Amino acid sequence: MQKRIFGNSGLEVSALGFGCMGLNFGYGSGISKEEAIKLIRRAFDLGVMFFDTAEAYGPFTNEEIVGEALEPIRDQVVIATKFGFQNGMAAKGLDSRPERIRQVAEESLKRLRTDRIDLFYQHRVDPSVPIEDVAGTVKDLIAEGKVKHFGLSEANVHSIRKAHAVQPVTALQSEYSLFWREPEQEILPTLEALGIGFVPFAPLGRGFLTGKIDESTSFADNDMRRNVPRFTEENRKANQALVALISGIAQEKDATPAQVALAWLLAQKPWIVPIPGTTKASRLAENLGGATLELTPTDLANIERATAEMPLHGDRYSPAMQRYVDHQ
């Protein structure tokens, strides 16, 4: 697989990473630990060298799975994890106090079976802790060799600039896809100016852009999409026009909608690295095909023209999670 470098950081990763959250968290019951380990190693065999996890996924169990899966090939991969919630639980609120960041680093190192965290993200900006203090704490961890690179997630331009002035930010991880394009307004220009990479999560619109979800789809009780306004039956029906557009292009390209959606993201900037996730080996192979699908300037212009006239319906977060979006 082709490689990409995050801005000015020198950190090189595969053009597509693997988002590990859904293996056991967020989208229903997930798969067994054994199956998850097998799938992570399969991703590596197919060229993926960038794996994303967090203490909050589980909490804690996702890091354990990733650590066991990657231990035999640790020096050939880049592992990203995150801090920022009380006791690793989003429902309990934010916690980016310096002592908590240090605690998370030590505990994540053990669960990940490694001596360093390649990319350590603040999972969400904590308004009660100056972001300069957060950046300074991670800077100290970098000096100690426990962390290699600093990242932010869902941070706004103001927070990015303040953090970057203390410790250079290697990557921002935020939602970005044909289903959510807000980062194009201020985030992407800022990242380009500062030399920061971008890691889009939910690059397939939490599965919507695969074309496998419609108004008749039902979600498990423990599937987070049950509580997301964008995934109400009414909004799923209203947003099918976007899926139809992508599906039409996919048919012309002898590709799948998911591959078109990922290829579109990769075409936006050379320092963008999406992290699609899946629990199925067949979907893993399909997603990675997006890295070799080339969309022509005409394809991209057609997508731009069509989507400019296409309103999308429904908020991307439930009210409970919306409170963690960085509005500073």
CA distance 300 to 203: 17
pLDDT at 29: 87
Say if CB 38 and CB 236 are below 8 A apart.
Answer: no
- Give the pLDDT confidence of 282-325 residue by residue, as tens digits: 999 999 999 999 999 999 999 999 999 899 999 999 888 888 88
Q: H helices within 112-194, ranges in order? A: 131-143, 157-166, 187-194
Give the mean pLDDT of the chain.
96
Could you list the active site residues? 57
195-204 mean pLDDT = 98
Residue found under tokens 């597509």: 16
Per the rule left: phi > 0, alpha: psi between -120 and 50, beta: everything else, 214 is beta
Mean pLDDT of 211-239: 94
pLDDT at position 328 over 70: no
pLDDT given at position 320: 83
CB atoms within 10 A of CB 212: 14
| The total number of residues written for the chain in this structure | 328
Give the list of residues 6+ apart from residue 59 with CB closer than 8 angstroms, or none: 85, 87, 88, 89
Please state whether the predicted TM-score (pTM) of the whole model is above 0.95: yes
Amino acid letter at 112?
A: L
The token duo for 20 is 């590990």
Report pLDDT digits (tens) over 118-145: 999 999 999 999 999 999 999 999 999 9
Secondary structure (DSSP) of 279-290: S-HHHHHHHHGG
Please check the confidence at residue 160 and state whether its pLDDT lies above 90: yes
Go through the domains of the chain in sequence order and give each one's CATH number.
Answer: 3-205+268-292 (3.20.20.100)
